[in-house]
Amino acid sequence: MKTHKSLSRRERQIMDVIYEIKEATVQQVMERLPAAPGYSAVRALLRVLEHKGHLSHRQDGPRYIYAPLLPKDKARRSALRHLMKTFFDDSTEEAVAALLDISEESLSEKDYRRLMDLIQKARNEGR
Protein backbone atom coordinates (compact mmCIF):
# COMPACT_ATOMS: atom_id res chain seq x y z
CA MET A 1 0.00 0.00 0.00
CA LYS A 2 1.30 3.45 -0.89
CA THR A 3 1.61 5.97 1.93
CA HIS A 4 2.15 9.68 2.40
CA LYS A 5 5.65 8.72 3.58
CA SER A 6 6.77 8.30 -0.01
CA LEU A 7 5.48 11.73 -1.06
CA SER A 8 7.27 15.06 -1.19
CA ARG A 9 5.63 18.09 0.40
CA ARG A 10 4.31 19.30 -2.98
CA GLU A 11 3.06 15.82 -3.89
CA ARG A 12 1.14 15.68 -0.58
CA GLN A 13 -0.38 19.07 -1.34
CA ILE A 14 -1.52 17.82 -4.74
CA MET A 15 -3.00 14.67 -3.24
CA ASP A 16 -4.82 16.79 -0.64
CA VAL A 17 -6.35 18.87 -3.44
CA ILE A 18 -7.45 15.82 -5.39
CA TYR A 19 -8.93 14.11 -2.33
CA GLU A 20 -10.77 17.32 -1.49
CA ILE A 21 -12.44 17.69 -4.88
CA LYS A 22 -12.50 13.94 -5.79
CA GLU A 23 -10.89 14.37 -9.22
CA ALA A 24 -9.08 17.24 -10.90
CA THR A 25 -7.47 18.60 -14.02
CA VAL A 26 -4.01 20.21 -13.96
CA GLN A 27 -5.66 23.65 -13.97
CA GLN A 28 -7.90 22.78 -10.99
CA VAL A 29 -4.90 21.56 -9.02
CA MET A 30 -2.94 24.72 -9.86
CA GLU A 31 -5.80 26.94 -8.68
CA ARG A 32 -5.77 25.29 -5.24
CA LEU A 33 -2.04 24.94 -4.59
CA PRO A 34 -0.23 27.49 -2.45
CA ALA A 35 2.42 29.27 -4.54
CA ALA A 36 1.64 26.94 -7.43
CA PRO A 37 4.41 26.16 -9.88
CA GLY A 38 3.73 26.42 -13.60
CA TYR A 39 1.41 24.21 -15.61
CA SER A 40 4.21 21.96 -16.88
CA ALA A 41 5.57 21.39 -13.37
CA VAL A 42 2.14 20.45 -11.99
CA ARG A 43 1.52 18.14 -14.94
CA ALA A 44 4.91 16.49 -14.34
CA LEU A 45 4.12 16.03 -10.62
CA LEU A 46 0.77 14.45 -11.51
CA ARG A 47 2.58 12.01 -13.80
CA VAL A 48 5.02 11.19 -10.99
CA LEU A 49 2.11 10.54 -8.62
CA GLU A 50 0.52 8.32 -11.23
CA HIS A 51 3.80 6.44 -11.70
CA LYS A 52 4.10 5.99 -7.90
CA GLY A 53 0.63 4.40 -7.89
CA HIS A 54 -1.28 7.19 -6.15
CA LEU A 55 -3.32 8.48 -9.09
CA SER A 56 -4.98 7.35 -12.27
CA HIS A 57 -6.30 9.49 -15.10
CA ARG A 58 -8.96 9.45 -17.74
CA GLN A 59 -9.06 11.61 -20.82
CA ASP A 60 -11.84 14.16 -21.37
CA GLY A 61 -11.18 15.66 -24.77
CA PRO A 62 -7.72 17.20 -24.63
CA ARG A 63 -7.63 17.23 -20.80
CA TYR A 64 -6.57 14.56 -18.36
CA ILE A 65 -8.67 14.21 -15.24
CA TYR A 66 -6.80 12.71 -12.30
CA ALA A 67 -8.35 10.71 -9.46
CA PRO A 68 -6.84 8.97 -6.43
CA LEU A 69 -6.41 5.21 -6.59
CA LEU A 70 -6.72 4.73 -2.84
CA PRO A 71 -10.09 5.58 -1.27
CA LYS A 72 -9.89 8.53 1.12
CA ASP A 73 -10.63 6.45 4.23
CA LYS A 74 -7.76 4.05 3.46
CA ALA A 75 -5.41 6.93 2.68
CA ARG A 76 -6.42 8.57 5.95
CA ARG A 77 -5.62 5.40 7.93
CA SER A 78 -2.28 5.04 6.18
CA ALA A 79 -1.37 8.67 6.87
CA LEU A 80 -2.42 8.33 10.51
CA ARG A 81 -0.32 5.18 10.94
CA HIS A 82 2.67 7.05 9.55
CA LEU A 83 1.99 10.07 11.77
CA MET A 84 1.59 7.92 14.89
CA LYS A 85 4.79 6.02 14.19
CA THR A 86 6.78 9.16 13.39
CA PHE A 87 5.57 11.52 16.12
CA PHE A 88 3.89 9.44 18.81
CA ASP A 89 6.02 6.27 19.04
CA ASP A 90 3.01 4.23 17.87
CA SER A 91 1.06 5.34 20.97
CA THR A 92 -2.65 5.81 20.36
CA GLU A 93 -2.94 7.34 23.82
CA GLU A 94 -0.31 10.00 23.03
CA ALA A 95 -1.91 10.81 19.68
CA VAL A 96 -5.40 11.19 21.17
CA ALA A 97 -4.02 13.26 24.06
CA ALA A 98 -2.33 15.59 21.56
CA LEU A 99 -5.55 15.93 19.55
CA LEU A 100 -7.51 16.79 22.68
CA ASP A 101 -4.80 19.23 23.74
CA ILE A 102 -4.93 21.21 20.48
CA SER A 103 -8.72 21.23 20.29
CA GLU A 104 -9.90 24.84 20.48
CA GLU A 105 -13.16 23.97 22.15
CA SER A 106 -14.20 21.31 24.58
CA LEU A 107 -15.94 18.20 23.33
CA SER A 108 -19.69 18.29 23.15
CA GLU A 109 -21.58 15.62 25.02
CA LYS A 110 -22.42 14.02 21.65
CA ASP A 111 -18.72 13.95 20.63
CA TYR A 112 -17.72 12.54 24.03
CA ARG A 113 -20.32 9.75 23.75
CA ARG A 114 -19.23 8.92 20.20
CA LEU A 115 -15.57 8.64 21.28
CA MET A 116 -16.55 6.46 24.24
CA ASP A 117 -18.58 4.23 21.91
CA LEU A 118 -15.62 3.92 19.53
CA ILE A 119 -13.30 3.02 22.41
CA GLN A 120 -15.74 0.39 23.67
CA LYS A 121 -16.14 -1.04 20.17
CA ALA A 122 -12.34 -1.29 19.81
CA ARG A 123 -12.10 -3.03 23.19
CA ASN A 124 -14.81 -5.52 22.19
CA GLU A 125 -12.89 -6.26 18.99
CA GLY A 126 -9.69 -6.82 20.95
CA ARG A 127 -7.91 -3.68 19.74
30: containing domain: 4-68
**64 and 95 share a domain?**
no
**63 and 8 share a domain?**
yes
SS3 string, 7-66, reads: CCHHHHHHHHHHHHHCCECHHHHHHHCCCCCCHHHHHHHHHHHHHCCCEEEEEECCEEEE
Within a domain: residue 36?
Answer: yes
Instruction: Fill in the DSSP letter of residue 68.
Output: E
Q: In tens digits, what is the pLDDT along the chain, a chain of 127 residues?
A: 444 457 888 998 999 999 999 999 999 999 999 998 999 999 999 999 999 999 999 999 999 999 999 888 887 887 788 888 889 998 988 888 888 887 767 778 898 889 889 889 989 998 7
**14 and 55 share a domain?**
yes
Confidence at residue 1, expressed as pLDDT on a 0 to 100 scale: 44
Confidence at residue 11, expressed as pLDDT on a 0 to 100 scale: 93
Number of domains in the chain: 2
Within a domain: residue 99?
Answer: yes
